[in-house]
Amino acid sequence: MFIRACLLAFTPLMLSAQGLFRDSETHEVSTQLFAAGNMPFWMQARQYGVIPSKGFFLQTTIALHSDYRASSKTRPYLKAKPLDWAYAFEVTGNAGATCQLFLPQAYLKVKYKSLELYAGKRKELIGIADSSSGMGPYSWSGNAMPLPKIQIGFRQWTPLFTPHVSIQATMAHGWLDEPRVLVRHAYLHQKNLYFRIGKPTAKVLAFAGINHQVQWAGRISAVPEPNNYYQADGSLPHDAAAFFSVVTGKRGFGRNYNAYDNRERVGNHLGSVDLALQIHSDARTILIYRQQPYEMPSLLHLANTKDGLMGISITQKSVDYPVSGIRKVVFEFLSTQDQGRSGPLWTEQYFNHLQYKQGWSYRGKTLGVPFITPSGRSSTFTTDNLLTVFHLGINALLLSHWQLNGRFSHLTSRGTPDQIYDQSKRQLSFLIEVRRSIWFLKGSEVRGTLAGDLGNLYPRSIAVSVGFTKRWGFVDENVSDAVRYRLKYRH
């Protein structure tokens, strides 16, 4: 059965290697060897659920991507098309103490001008925050395995009547079903709306928006006694009235709903309200942002404004002939200590839910910011969501060739609002990664990583990994001539 699954998974890759799909594909093969007892936090976090929690293993990823056609500097006959389609397929396998096979990406997308429709599994981040060196956006951070969705919307910034105001907006329906959870066959409703004020070339740009996720519907196999949260047959509301409550955030009003669904909103609602300011100069780009988390009804009562993710990202402008130095610094602060407890109606706990005991997760991983980790207990998703986190991310260039990426995070946990620790737990997690391109093997890269955890919240751990990646296809289509010359002749 395993061999059969592998053959089915790799068939599209073998076909595409023969050029039967599109001539604009990019192919990638990556292999990485991990050595660890307990896998450190930053080796697992924001890896889309493909890194196990323990062990010595070899990971191999094979992927193909074909994006929409863009105007090319090196191939003038290629022009962007208003109507276009694209796809991606990615398989990851782990061989070691535990053998695993994952499908992180498999999607088909089509667009007409700025409007896009896609179906499948795609790696995504949602929210305004630094996407490379930060801790990850609050509500959708790339920490869990991508789930199957159908989505329509404007993923690129699209002018709204005037070039001074642009929007990004999407709406999606997804499937959150997985084995070994209490509520099976749950759905995901997801939408977001973001505004950008200012022309793309402006020195200062302002951003504001909101994202809204809802975990809803589903069924439990055995109805508990007393039954306070489920309908008599073990199901959760999934009719038209339930969908109206899911989309609008209004209270449920179905006649056959239980008391909880009539008193609260149908489903598990959460998201963030985001504000940001981006400042451009000739030397650097500065992004200042804040994400205000919410779970209904705290947003309506502004009950948890003390909480939030705040950050500043400073990026040095790239040059054709780089020298050693820091390229990016990110500093972030996350607080979830309040959770609306000072408000008039306190009924929430971040990422925990009274009906969906699996919480805000998929395939055992947090869907949101990775510091709210699963507890491994069936009675509640997490036992650590009263947090304070300080995070530092660094990206630098060493000796003109080596890229250095560092993440350093200090976390303090007081437990949960229902179970506050007598003494706070503290944790220091770090990751240091170096990468270097191999010029004589175009599109190739070697990398090494050291990571560890110190403290009393996660198991103490230290781990190393080494890896190699080879890309070919349209990997260097829009590289400047000066950079091409340096890549070819400078060592």
- Residue 278, pLDDT > 80, answer yes
Query: What's the pLDDT band for 193 if we cut at 50, 70, 90?
Result: very high
- Residue 137, pLDDT > 90, answer yes
- Residue 17, pLDDT > 60, answer no
Give yes or no for a contact between 395 and 326, defined as CB atoms under 8 angstroms apart.
yes
Higher pLDDT, 375 or 76: 375
Of all helices (H) and strands (E), which one includes residue 18?
A: none
Domain count, the chain: 1
Query: What's the pLDDT band for 15 if we cut at 50, 70, 90?
Result: very low
Tokens of 22: 């599109």
Averaging pLDDT over each range in 11-25, 42-56, 65-79, 374-388, which range is the top one?
Answer: 42-56
Closest CA to 468 of 432, 435, 431: 435
pLDDT at res. 61: 97
Q: 413 phi and psi, to 5 degrees?
A: -120, 135
Cα(53)–Cα(94) distance, rounded to whole angstroms?
Answer: 12
Q: 43 phi and psi, to 5 degrees?
A: -80, -25
Q: How many CB atoms lie within 10 A of CB 162?
A: 8
Cα(203)–Cα(267) distance, rounded to whole angstroms?
Answer: 42
Tokens of 169: 């907006």
List CB contacts of 414: < 8 A, sequence separation 6 or more. 337, 386, 387, 420, 421, 424
pLDDT digits (tens, 9 = 90+) for 68-100: 988 776 667 677 889 999 999 999 999 998 899
Cα(87)–Cα(1) distance, rounded to whole angstroms?
Answer: 27
Closest CA to 430 of 403, 455, 412, 447: 455
pLDDT digits (tens, 9 = 90+) for 307-322: 999 999 999 987 655 6
Tokens of 171: 């709406």
- Residue 369, pLDDT > 80, answer yes
List CB contacts of 398: < 8 A, sequence separation 6 or more. 324, 404, 434
Cα(331)–Cα(323) distance, rounded to whole angstroms?
Answer: 23
Q: What is the DSSP string of 182-218?
A: SSBS-EEEEEEEEEEES-TT-SEEEEEEEEEEEEE--
Going from the C-alpha of 74 to that of each of 1, 71, 259, the distances in angstroms are: 45, 9, 64
Q: Is the pTM of this model over 0.85?
A: yes
**Ranges 137-141, 199-203, 212-216, 317-321: which has the least confidence:** 317-321
Instruction: Write the DSSP symbol of residue 99.
Output: -
pLDDT at res. 98: 81
Task: Identify the CATH number of the domain in which residue 446 sits.
Answer: 2.40.160.130
Cα(235)–Cα(56) distance, rounded to whole angstroms?
Answer: 41
Closest CA to 397 of 321, 286, 490: 321
Average per-residue pLDDT in the chain?
A: 87
pLDDT at res. 378: 64
Higher pLDDT, 430 or 354: 430
pLDDT at res. 225: 80
Query: What's the pLDDT band for 488 if we cut at 50, 70, 90?
Result: very low
Cα(95)–Cα(56) distance, rounded to whole angstroms?
Answer: 9
Mean pLDDT of 211-230: 89
Mean pLDDT of 359-372: 95
Residue numbers of the domain that contains 394: 2-489
Give yes or no for a contact between 68 and 111, defined as CB atoms under 8 angstroms apart.
yes
